[in-house]
Amino acid sequence: MAPTDENLPSASDIERFDPCAAARPAAPAQPTVSDRKPPTAASEIGWGLVSTAILAAWLGWQWGWVFAAAGVLGVLVHELGHLAAINSLGCGPGRIHVIPFFGGAASMARAPDTEFKGVLIALAGPVAGLAATAPFYLLYANGGDRIWLQGVLFIGGMNLLNLAPVPPLDGAKALGPALAWLHPNVERAVMILLGGIGVYWAVSHGQFLIAVVIGLSLAQALRGRAFRVPALRLTALQWAVSMGLWVGAVVLCGSVTWSALAPNT
Ligand SMILES: [Zn+2]
């Protein structure tokens, strides 16, 4: 893991523990560590396959094979959504990393120069990620076996949860700039409050890994470090659009999740 700029969030720590949230700039190239060889394409593909297999096996062991298939496909399509936004907004080339037990992460070569681009990149994952429900809907429509709705539930729920403004989730990056636009302390207070609730929920449900993930980000917030790489602030119009897009994404992900839960779908 390359050392990072002191001004950046401690990516070396969180990158490892990122539950799919993290569309963030890759660590800037450090001339002092230039002897570090870049991974070859073969080793990257190999590691990608191994980590995908570990993720699938873990999901399958925890919840069954439909969840495993939904988890792997859901993470992939979600990260592809981030990747498309990263590349089309001039922050690329982006890269996808599969993280066993936690999902995935998309990294980008350049940090967004405006907060609004960061919002769009953050929301692209959960919204595009819903496309992964299509094969599960089709399989359900083709025979009516409700087991396929588990895939829809998992993908919808995963993207919905990801929109919570809790670091390091996408919601923190999507809503953070709008909250900070009101006052930087509003963003910090919301993240600390919801992060605290998240840690409490995770611990009380025995989800200690999730508690550690949120706790690490929360510690960063409590230490007063920046959540995001500084960028041009939102204009009033961009603030309104950001809020609207976040609410729209929540409604969309919520509707998909609900469609899998509703009786007689
Ligand atoms: Zn994401």
Domain boundaries, the chain: 16-29+40-261
pLDDT band at 37 (very low <50, low <70, confident <90, very high): low
Q: What are φ and ψ of residue 213, in 5° steps?
A: -60, -50
Distance 126 CA to ligand 1 centre (A): 6
What digits encode the pLDDT tens for the residues 137-186? 999 999 888 899 999 999 999 999 999 988 889 999 999 999 999 998 89
Distance 142 CA to ligand 1 centre (A): 30
Distance 116 CA to ligand 1 centre (A): 16
pLDDT band at 79 (very low <50, low <70, confident <90, very high): very high
> Residues 64-79: what's their mean pLDDT?
92
What per-residue confidence (pLDDT) applies to 174?
95
Contacts of 73 (CB under 8 A, 6+ apart): 132, 135, 151, 155
Distance 73 CA to ligand 1 centre (A): 13
Distance CA 220, CA 127 (A): 27
pLDDT higher than 60, residue 120: yes
Contact indicator for 136, 149 with CB cutoff of 8 Å: yes
Taking 3-state DSSP, the helix, strand and coil percentages for the chain, each rounded to the nearest 5, stand at 65, 5, 30
